[in-house]
Amino acid sequence: MSTIPLDYEALRLIWWLLLGILLIGFAIMGGRDMGVGALLPFAARTDDERRVLLNVVGPTWEGNQVWLVLGGGAIFAAFPPLYAVSFSGFYLAMIVILLALILRPVGFKFRGKITDKRWRDAWDWALFVGGAVPALIFGVAVGNVLLGAPFHLDGSMRAFYTGNFFQLLMPFALLCGLVSLAMIATQGAAVIAGRTEGVLAERARRIGMGTGLATIALFAIGGIWVGFLDGHVISSVTAPNAPINPLAKTVDLVRGGWLSNYTTYPWMLTAPALGFGGMALAVLSFWTRWRVPALLATSIGITGIIGSAGLSLYPFLLPSSTVPQAGLTLWDSSSSQMTLFIMLVATVIFLPLILAYTAWVFRVMRGTVSPQSITKNPNAY
């Protein structure tokens, strides 16, 4: 262990930050596709307009899924107990998300096979489900993390989840789902407004102003609601370099405890400021018809909103609502020091390659998509 240049505490903190970056990356990049899908039946009225939207995201959506794979892989390798509890406890929710996501490639491929209007309308709504449902459920999942998941650990650190699917649909969790859906829809509106022209772009701007304002309002309501929730606060001495043992700590339930980090670490207020500021700038950009600033602003807003949830929970990854002491934190649910270091080396090598390739693809695919351009392209959807 002495040959590893970074101590255990630093590696755990780095991987907590990297996990947040990967999840934000998926929300921004995958949110482009989910947002356009969620707006497909509303922003586009004719078959040509809907084909334009499909070809806005069609060439890049598969690459954007890399961020979801990386996020899931990071949870599996860096925080195995978190993976075990969340992916087994939220199993039905995960299945719903996967089934909805499967509709997207199927919809892209099958929609244009038959020219019948009913056939294409059916696949358009399937693409809507593939965009809106994952966005909603991902937000519901975050809400349930803030509420705490119903699980406990036995003496051998085996996890037992005691909840069910319908317990996930609590009012606060549904509010978080609406925040997620609204911000992803705003991201989709920014993509449409920036990559199309004419009446389609104008319609997207109007929708974007509405969803952007809804995101701000719902995010504010969620922040107020969090102040009345019982937050989990570690009252025992934390040993960041200690071996894994979630049951070794003492956890107290404190009303409004999830907001205590903003008092302890005032710099964390940057996250909600980015959330509100980014979405407000996006609304302004839609109103003034700025194309690039709108997409940049929505991405900043998404970063701030997700960052606010993560920083509020710090150092928790998944609190337990039944046995608070069993809640998983980045200090007591990570892989070994050697595993984290080897993964970090691989990340330092491959993540820049992924970023460079993504930037190159979007540069190649840049420009406005119109009915005329897709008519000239025999490979268009």
SS (H, E, C) the chain: CCCCCCCHHHHHHHHHHHHHHHHHHHHHHHHHHHHHHHHHHHHCCCHHHHHHHHHHHCCCHHHHCHHHHHHHHHHHHHCHHHHHHHHHHCHHHHHHHHHHHHHHHHHHHHHHHCCCHHHHHHHHHHHHHHHHHHHHHHHHHHHHHHHCECEEECCCCCEEECCCHHHHCCHHHHHHHHHHHHHHHHHHHHHHHHHCCHHHHHHHHHHHHHHHHHHHHHHHHHHHHHCCCEEEEECCCCCCCCCCCHHHCCEEEEECHHHHHHHHCHHHHHHHHHHHHHHHHHHHHHHHCCHHHHHHHHHHHHHHHHHHHHHHHCCEEECECCCHHHCEECCCCCCCHHHHHHHHHHHHHHHHHHHHHHHHHHHHCCCCCCHHHHHHCCCCC
Q: Binning pLDDT at 50, 70 and 90, where does residue 285 land?
A: very high
Give 149's strand partners.
320
Provide the domain count of the chain. Answer: 1
Q: Judge whether 193 lies within some domain.
A: yes
What's the start-to-end Cα distance of the chain, in Å?
54
- Look at 171 and 249; give whichever has higher pLDDT: 171
Q: Judge whether 306 lies within some domain.
A: no
pLDDT, average across residues 309-330: 93
> What pLDDT sits at residue 115?
85
Supply the range of the domain harboring residue 366. 8-228+334-376
Is 80 exceeded by the pLDDT of residue 134?
Answer: yes
Q: Judge whether 214 lies within some domain.
A: yes
pLDDT, average across residues 325-342: 91
Q: Judge whether 328 lies within some domain.
A: no
Q: Binning pLDDT at 50, 70 and 90, where does residue 1 land?
A: very low
Of 5-9, 36-40, 201-205, 294-298, minimum mean pLDDT range: 5-9
Q: Binning pLDDT at 50, 70 and 90, where does residue 160 land?
A: confident
> What pLDDT sits at residue 16?
95
> What pLDDT sits at residue 2?
52
> What pLDDT sits at residue 376?
76
- d(Cα 9, Cα 337) in Å, to the nearest integer? 9
Amino acid 197 reads E
Is 70 exceeded by the pLDDT of residue 97?
Answer: yes
CA-based R_g, the chain, Å: 21
Is 90 exceeded by the pLDDT of residue 138?
Answer: yes
Is 60 exceeded by the pLDDT of residue 267?
Answer: yes
> What pLDDT sits at residue 308?
96
Q: Judge whether 81 lies within some domain.
A: yes
Amino acid 206 reads R
Q: Judge whether 174 lies within some domain.
A: yes
Q: Judge whether 3 lies within some domain.
A: no
Q: Judge whether 339 lies within some domain.
A: yes
Query: pTM here?
Result: 0.92
